[in-house]
Chain A
Amino acid sequence: MLTLQCPYCGVMAEETELHAGGEAHLTRYGPGSEDQDFESYLFKRENPKGVHFERWRHVNGCGKWFHAARCTVTLEVFGTYPAQTTEPPQDIKDTITAKRPGWSLRNLT
């Protein structure tokens, strides 16, 4: 059972109170963009064995979207943070680096 702390209401919410929203920090390519960019934005997702950044919604709670950094192998949660950001905050990255030296995902290290 996955338990994540919602950064907005501070509740330790377990999985059934949340809704998964897929990979976080995607760059959006909208109207007028190259077909290839649009295709990758729409369909191409990372499926890493290890560090992953995900979007979650506290659906049976405050209703807010937030981000979570976790390990897909051990289910260890490195931290959660508000969604108003285009990349993980430095303290989250530092925590991950301390526990998984040399990690990388897309252009994030």
Chain B
Amino acid sequence: MSNAVSALQGSTYDGVVRVEEIGLQGMITLRADLGEKPIATALKSVCGTKMPGQRGIESKGDISALWMSPDELMLLCPYDAANDVAAKLTTKLAKTHALVVNVSDARASFRLQGAGLREVIAKLAPVDMAPDQFGIGEVRRTRFAQAAAAFWLTDDETAQIFCFRSVAPYMFNLLSTVSRPGTEVGYF
């Protein structure tokens, strides 16, 4: 086996916020009717998390379940554990109409850290980032300039973003450009 590397191998940029490519991230996509009980049961027994509600996120230990659409869930786990978790879920869901795939290498993940976070995101995505409109624990799939991406806030000063691996350098350049020192707007 060749060594697995992430798209930008942990590039960082320090500006209004700190932009960081977070390296290898285990990702599993689960496609099924999320309203069905066997799906929630399998998720609970393999990952320990509840079924997230609409646009929600549920975490337990180092595994998180992100609601992507009424029939798609994204599971985040340590990179090395992804194959194992996917195999367990596949076994549990053998009799259900469901698809589980390890897609860890298909995407790139970024972390933004800093107080200017909301404003950095608002410059790129058509999302109302006012604190009373977009809270912690909501997953939002949208676009950052021209690239499709999803993001959520883990606390007031930390956000996580993922996009397709093929647009990782584009995303890193975007995030770095809009967080260049001196470009603060101070809106939020």
How many A-B contacts if CB must be within 8 Å?
34
Grouping DSSP codes into helix (H, G, I), strand (E, B) and loop, the A interface class, with mixed when no group exceeds half, is loop
Min CB–CB distance A2 → chain B (angstroms): 12
Are B69 and A14 in contact, with the CB atoms below 8 A? Answer: no
Contacts of B148 on A, CB cut-off 8 Å? 59-60
Are A9 and B126 in contact, with the CB atoms below 8 A? Answer: no
Given A16-B126, A17-B126, A60-B148, decide whether A11 and B70 contact each other with a Cβ distance below 8 A: no
Q: Which of B21-73 contact A (CB under 8 A)?
A: 54-55, 68-70, 72
Given A16-B126, A62-B69, decide whether A9 and B55 contact each other with a Cβ distance below 8 A: yes
Q: Is A102 an interface residue (CB 8 A)?
A: no
In the complex, A17 Cα to B140 Cα: how many Å? 12
Nearest to A8 among chain B residues (CB) is: B70
Q: Is A25 an interface residue (CB 8 A)?
A: no
- Contact count band on A: 10 to 19
Q: Is A63 an interface residue (CB 8 A)?
A: yes
Contacts of A61 on B, CB cut-off 8 Å? 141-142
Residues on B close to A: CB < 8 A? 54-55, 68-70, 72, 126, 128, 140-143, 148
Q: Can you report 7 residue pairs joining A to B where beta carbons are below 8 Å apart?
A: A8-B70, A9-B54, A16-B126, A17-B126, A62-B141, A64-B69, A64-B70
